[in-house]
A and B are shown apart, each in its own frame.
Chain A
């Protein structure tokens, strides 16, 4: 392709303001060993937004990301980045910055040399390189660490070098493949906020891959939930949490209890018990369904009367009490729904340690909070 094509497109981007940066249509990757790793994935990502691909290990996240980066040729389907087919240019000419799962820093170079590497390879004016490297080391708050070798930096600092190196040539697209997975929780949460800050500061279109639902909710403008190679849902974080479209999404984000039964208007029937709920889409009466209720949406009280406002309420027994620090998790079971262990969050600073194991309680919820999905199996 033409020299300088990336520079042209980035200028175009700011002038014409393209709404869609990444467009994927029916992307499929079949390694030929069973089910496809990615199965007909389609989505659009607007310029400047932060998208997270969320899914359990093996759900095809890395494969999808590698196809977007152009490292992996899809079996079928197409991807365009800023209107150009990804594979129209060889990998080293593309304007994509990537932070890898194991960082892939160059151990024989200093932090500054790592950050300067893409500038040298992309033939930036040598006089501009040191200043640019300094700017980006400052951006990731490593201004004083440029001369350190990679093995002289902590995990979090290495992380920052990897980000600076991926951003220093101002790529059109930033891809992150679970770079935080190996960090301890505290550092991970700090780096999540860093990602957000840097992304806002530079406005670079970003796709992040993770299996950590908290991370997805914290950093993203958009979330795509994947399972078994398929996109399960693509939505804003709040929407995704409030209105999961299927049992997988309902179960993957937050803590939910599932109740199997058959559909009836305004809820589901399990044994002789009628539970209020909201059907996700049109579900005919009598269809096998699963209801999902989140732990923080179940109310738990000692006396049945105080749940008069709830659409559904029934007596239960406390099976277990789990102290999680900022809240308690009660596990409760009802004689009328044997085998279903309801998980209930209880957060009340006034009365923290209310019920003991074996205590008789009443649990209940409102119809809008229980989501009812058609059973898939």
Chain B
């Protein structure tokens, strides 16, 4: 122990102890710093248009890229689609995650709890791309779902490459995250509180609506925020399940950077996405307080 302390003293002398806190968050600051640096560069890039003759960014500063976005119906449609997709994903994910985590937390059977946990964690080991590919196979024209429908004499349906398919994929992808965020909030509600509600005359539905959901609000808001921002910025699901027809903002950015090579326009889109996400998160936190994310904020 003494040797260890001596060694520690060499690396980090005692008199530096009051800077220990800073030393510990230094890596985080470094990471955020790199991120900010990148953002600044992107912001700078967004102020130059692409010179189509030389394929080089223009010399002078201009807001032309932003003007292009505002004037373009395509980008408005992409933006609207991303927001709607994220909103629907939040709604359906929470709708499914709430009963799932409630049963997981409340069940008296250890077997059921373990099975629910395993089912929850399995998808984590399978990447997003593989999962999207799995959905492609299952929902494809000759996939399992259409096979079953065929048994009932239904003609093969086009289940893929449309908006619902993208939302379906996103919900499927987000469910584990939201269950993991909701479970602690539900665990924090004492069972006795629900028994009390029932003794006071609430049936299970009323007790769920008037007691469980309001008391789980911090978890619901936190999960909604995480799912919402992750969906809004998602790339893989719209790309694979939308088949090019259902682009979200991230797909549009990708196209500008890697297909059209219009770095300026891509940068402008990227900044818009960052701003949009920040505003949404800011508004949600302002309304519900920082405590909603389990950070102990109290009014």
Do A and B form a real pair?
yes
Give the B-binding residues of A (Cβ under 8 A): 69, 71, 90-94, 96-98, 100-102, 104-108, 117-118, 121-122, 165-166, 169
B210 near A117 with CB under 8 A, answer: yes
- State whether the Cβ of B192 lies closer than 8 Å to any Cβ in chain A: yes
- In the complex, chain A residues whose CB is within 8 Å of the CB of B200: 92, 97, 117-118, 121, 165-166, 169
Q: Are A104 and B193 in contact (CB under 8 A)?
A: yes
Whether B199 and A94, one on each chain, are in contact in the complex, defined by CB atoms closer than 8 angstroms, is: yes
Please determine whether B214 and A169 come into contact, CB atoms closer than 8 angstroms.
no
Q: How far is the CB of B187 from chain A (nearest CB, A)?
A: 15
Cβ–Cβ contact B192 & A91, under 8 A: no
Please determine whether A92 and B196 come into contact, CB atoms closer than 8 angstroms: no
Question: Which of A97, A101, A108 touches B199 (beta carbons < 8 Å)?
Answer: A97
**Which residues of chain A are near B271, meaning CB under 8 Å?**
none
Choice from A71, A102, A106, A121 contacting B201 with Cβ under 8 Å: A121
Q: Verify if B236 is at the interface (C-beta below 8 Å from A).
A: no
Any A CB within 8 A of the CB of B67: no
A165 / chain B contacts, CB cutoff of 8 Å: 200
Nearest-CB distance from B289 to chain A (Å)?
Answer: 13
A102–B191 alpha-carbon span in the complex (Å): 11
Q: Kindly list the 5 A-B residue pairs having the minimum CB-CB distance in the complex, ordered from nearest.
A: A121-B201, A104-B196, A118-B200, A122-B201, A104-B192
Q: Tell me if B199 and A91 are in contact (CB < 8 A).
A: yes
Contact code string B191-228 (vs A, CB < 8 Å = 1, else 0): 01101111111110010001100110100000000000
CA distance A118 to B201 in the complex (A): 6
B207 nearest in chain A by CB position: A92
Partner of A108, one of B190, B192, B195, B214: B214
Instruction: Other than A92-B200, A106-B193, give 13 A-B pairs with Cβ distance below 8 A.
Output: A92-B201, A92-B206, A97-B200, A98-B196, A98-B199, A100-B192, A102-B190, A106-B210, A106-B214, A118-B200, A121-B200, A165-B200, A169-B201
Contacting residues, chain A, for B211 (C-beta < 8 A):
106
Interface size class of B (residues with CB under 8 A): 10 to 19
Pull 26 A–B residue pairs with CB atoms less than 8 Å apart, ordered by A.
A69-B199, A71-B195, A92-B198, A92-B199, A92-B200, A92-B203, A93-B201, A94-B199, A97-B200, A100-B195, A101-B192, A104-B192, A104-B193, A104-B195, A106-B193, A106-B210, A106-B211, A106-B214, A107-B215, A108-B214, A108-B217, A117-B197, A117-B202, A165-B200, A166-B199, A169-B201
Q: Which residues of B contact A108 (CB under 8 A)?
A: 214-215, 217
Report if A91-B215 is in contact (Cβ < 8 Å); known contacts: A104-B192, A104-B193, A117-B210: no
Residue of B nearest to A69 (CB): B199
Closest to B199 in A: A98
**B202: nearest chain-A partner, CB-CB:** A121
Residues of B within 8 A of A122 (CB): 201
Q: Say how far A314's CB is from chain B's closest CB, in angstroms.
A: 53
Residues of A within 8 A of B193 (CB): 104, 106
Complex CA–CA separation, A166 to B197 (angstroms)? 10
With A69-B199, A92-B198, A104-B195 as known contacts, state yes or no: A121 contacts B206, CB within 8 Å.
yes
A210 to B215, CA, bound (A): 29
Q: A residues within 8 A CB of B203?
A: 90, 92
Interface centre among B193, B200, B206 (most CB of A within 10 A): B200
Measured between beta carbons, the chain B residues less than 8 angstroms from A102 are 190, 192
B210 proximity list for chain A (CB < 8 A): 106, 117
**Chain A residues with CB below 8 A from B199, complex form:** 69, 71, 91-92, 94, 96-98, 166
Contacts of A169 in B (CB 8 A): 200-201
Which B residues are in CB contact (< 8 Å) with A107?
A: 215
Does A91 lie within 8 Å of B196, measured CB to CB? no
Closest-CB distance, B155 to chain A (whole angstroms)? 47
User: What is the CB-to-nearest-CB distance from B204 to chain A, in angstroms, rounded to a whole number?
Assistant: 8
Within 8 A of A (CB), among B206-255: 206, 210-211, 214-215, 217
In whole Å, how far is B194's beta carbon from the nearest beta carbon of chain A?
A: 8
Contacts of A121 in B (CB 8 A): 197, 200-202, 206
Could you tell me if A100 and B196 are in contact, using CB atoms closer than 8 angstroms?
yes
Residues of A within 8 A of B215 (CB): 106-108
> How many Å lie between the Cα of A340 and that of B79 in the bound state?
87
Contacts of B202 in A (CB 8 A): 92, 117, 121
Question: For chain B residues 150-207, which have a beta carbon within 8 Å of chain A?
Answer: 190, 192-193, 195-203, 206
Q: Which residues of B contact A94 (CB under 8 A)?
A: 199
The complex places the Cα of A105 from the Cα of B217 at a distance, in Å, of 17
CB neighbours of B201 from chain A (8 A): 92-93, 118, 121-122, 169
What B residues does A100 contact at CB under 8 A?
192, 195-196
